[in-house]
Amino acid sequence: MIKIGLITDKYHLEKKSTQFLKYCKNLADISIYIEEDYFLDFSDYDFDENIFFVKAKGDLVINLIKLIEQETDIPVINSSRSISLAFNRFLNSVFLRKAGIPVPDFTLNPVGISPPYKEYIMKNIIDQKNYAFSPQILKKGGFLKVSDMRAINESSGIEPKYSHVYFQDFVKSKWEYKVYIIGDDIFYFKQIPVLVNPDKMKSRVEIDKDKELTEIAYKAAETIGLKISSMDFLRSKKGLFYLTDINSSPNFEYIKNGPKIVGDYLIKQAKI
């Protein structure tokens, strides 16, 4: 029987992986590595899994993936490089733009220095924790200025991590578009932007395949190195899609039969 190693944390294990584990339990042996329980001595540990699936993005998780990549030939989905790039907004913006993928204009400014945009969203540089988007919205001179509390805490909180802040030029869009990639499969949804309605699932609907979205999403996944991913897009008044966020640990349970699709994909990859 195929052996799948699930590398995760307690949050993703309890909130995001229940149906996946339920589906896979009769098809594969599942070993679970939980970030909060890493008290094992890996200096004398033999991994016998056929494939690893990562559903987290903490530092201990990244280090465990690197160990597996360095010491074994077992495939890991997603890789340590791709996860690290995905949660670093500034780096993935640089990589994506260099690859010709349309992303909103962005800057990395010292704390207290405003960006050169009439309207903007201030985001945390490192999107690594499991905290939800928490916006502070200000209209000044008729222009929208949005600050994510995660960014404020990261740069100006009690224990600031960075002296700089990541800004994105604000793209006005009637809809926010969500694209999921699982291997070669791709799924499309749209919803009212969370700045208008924070309950994103209430307005989310599945939409037909879009050629432009497909090309951008596959190219973005390839650029960052993601095999499983979700991406957020906004569409400008001129009809151009802009990739605003890319995620290495998507909640695929939002997709119809998502846990089955992911499980089947991992088993197929383990047999290659």
Judged against a pLDDT cut of 90, whether residue 41 lies above it is answered with: no
CATH number for the domain that contains residue 71: 3.40.50.20
Domain that holds residue 48: 2-77+256-271
Taking only the tens place, the pLDDT of each residue in 177-193 is 999 999 999 999 999 99
Contact 55, 12 (CB under 8 A): yes
Taking only the tens place, the pLDDT of each residue in 73-102 is 999 999 999 999 999 999 999 999 999 999
Q: CA-to-CA distance for 33 and 267, rounded, in angstroms?
A: 18
Same domain assignment for residues 145 and 197: no
Same domain assignment for residues 97 and 194: yes
Q: Write the CA distances from 60 to 15, 133, 167, integer angstroms.
A: 20, 23, 28
Least confident of 31-35, 42-46, 81-85, 132-136: 42-46
Contact 51, 269 (CB under 8 A): yes
**DSSP 3-state of 221:** helix
Report the percentage of the chain scoring pLDDT > 90. 79
pLDDT confidence tier of residue 132, bands split at 50, 70 and 90: confident
Same domain assignment for residues 178 and 239: yes
Q: What type of residue sits at position 27?
A: L
Same domain assignment for residues 90 and 223: yes
- Model-level pTM? 0.94
CATH number for the domain that contains residue 220: 3.30.470.20
